[in-house]
Amino acid sequence: MNIEIRAVTKENLKEVLALDVSTPQKSYVESTKQCLEDAVECNYYQPAGLYQDGILVGFAMYGFFPGEGQKGRVWLDRYLIDERFQGQGLGSIMLEALIAHLVKLYHCDEIYLSLYDDNQCALHLYQKFGFKFNGEQDINGEKVMVKVV
């Protein structure tokens, strides 16, 4: 299996915009359209397509945010697997690849994310990879989790 994390470009934009999650998940994660609009407004965000064997199966948006803490923070801000590819273990496979990618890219020793704690599927996945609540909440009322790498 070949896993790739590719920047969103004009070549894959239409395909990225077609990614979607199941209806119950829509209240937990922004659409890729909204994510890309957010990335235009904030240049810290790096949107990326997640590929398995050359097929786009998911999306992530991450970045280094200076000024949050003494050394800044690396955030995995958005993460989704398209509903057509859910239930195949790709959430874990892609999250493992993303963590390795972020560590290599940013030389970080911590990765932050936030979620609504009633999002049980995502919570279970993140906990499986060692993310723990740190007692903070983000501006949207989501609870912050951190993984020490």
Q: What is the torsional sign of CA 81, 86, 91, 94?
A: negative
* Catalytic sites, residue numbers: 126
Q: How far is CA 96 from CA 27, 103, 128, in A?
A: 24, 11, 11
